[in-house]
Amino acid sequence: MRGRLENKRVLVTGASRGIGAAIACACASEGAEVFAHASRPSPDLAKLATDFPAGRVTLVVEDLLVPGAGARLFAAAAAKAGRLDAVINNAGVYLPTPIGGEVEHWDTGWADTLAINLKAPADICRAAIAHFRSHGGGRVINIASRAGHRGDGLDYAAYAGSKGALLAMTKTYARALAGEKIYFYAISPGWVETRMAPEDIAARARAVAEIPLGRVAAPEEVGRLAAFIASEDCPASSTGATFDINGASYVR
């Protein structure tokens, strides 16, 4: 049985663990050739490549905190692929920016969050648009957050702000480029079972208590959704849509 992404080439950022690894695995399982990115080499990233047949997963390393890294990453992946059909911007950080903390911590937290969560995806989107214009179209999926809609805790304003901006950018490009068969989508997860999820018992209980489904999402749920959106089974008419995956904890 053919997968829904057979003969497609997909770039996934932040693919060494968590949601990114689940997305890369889901796309590869659906038949895609996956270009899996991480900021640095790691055993987790190496294992991802060995979990699938040779050539199914290709590793690309680039530190997205460094200026210009997004453009370099896309260029490296495109050079290896020849043609990319979809890009999934998943890489992100969840850094505290306390109002009452040291100003140096505040400045660094905001700068690093915006560099990785917004500027790098923006640079990748810019490069992807030029690439897709030369190849008859393509799809971009930006992994945002529930926080981009409803906000986050006081100490995580930078994270919420970066994800809100990512959503606005996604909608802007979707509106502008649909006629060129370049489609943009966003996924906005709530809590997912990754290192970002609350580990403290009391904090975990509070997080789960506000989720009507009764649990946080599994990374594989986000992965399967991303693979579907990257495929032509997801209708072009849904371009510009944001897909929530938060157990009905925030219903828009």
Q: To the nearest whole number, what is the mean pLDDT of the chain?
A: 94
Euclidean distance between CA atoms 182 and 193, whole angstroms: 31
pLDDT tens figures, 112-126: 999 999 999 999 999
Using the predicted structure, report yes or no on whether residue 202 has a pLDDT greater than 70. Answer: no
Question: What DSSP string describes 120-156?
Answer: HHHHHHHHHHHHHHHTT-EEEEEE--THHHH---GGG
Question: Which is the catalytic residue, given 94, 156, 159, 250?
Answer: 159
**Residue 68 corresponds to which amino acid?**
G
Does the pLDDT of residue 76 top 80, yes or no?
Answer: yes
Instruction: Provide φ and ψ at 52, rounded to 5°.
Output: -130, 165
Three-class DSSP category at 57:
strand
Dihedrals phi, psi of 12, to nearest 5 degrees: -125, 120
User: 157, 97 in Cβ contact below 8 A?
Assistant: yes
State yes or no: pLDDT of 1 exceeds 90.
Answer: no
Residue 190, Cα to own-chain centre: how many angstroms?
Answer: 13
**In this structure, what DSSP letter does residue 4 have?**
T
Residue 150 identity (one-letter amino acid): R
Could you tell me if 109 and 155 are in contact, meaning their C-beta atoms sit under 8 angstroms apart? Answer: no
Helix axes 157-177, 120-134, angle to 10 degrees: 10
Question: What percentage of the chain carries pLDDT values higher than 90?
Answer: 84
- Give the angle 35-40-43 at the CA atoms, nearest 5°: 80
The answer on pLDDT for 204 being more than 70 is no
Rounded to whole angstroms, the Cα distance separating 50 from 82 reads 22
As a whole number of angstroms, the distance between CA 58 and CA 46 comes to 10
Cα torsion for 173, 178, 182, 188, to the nearest 10°? 50
Spacing of C-alpha 179 from chain mean position: 24
> Annotated catalytic, 94?
no
Q: How far apart are CA 34 and CA 115, in angstroms?
A: 24
**pLDDT tens, 147-162?**
999 999 999 999 999 9
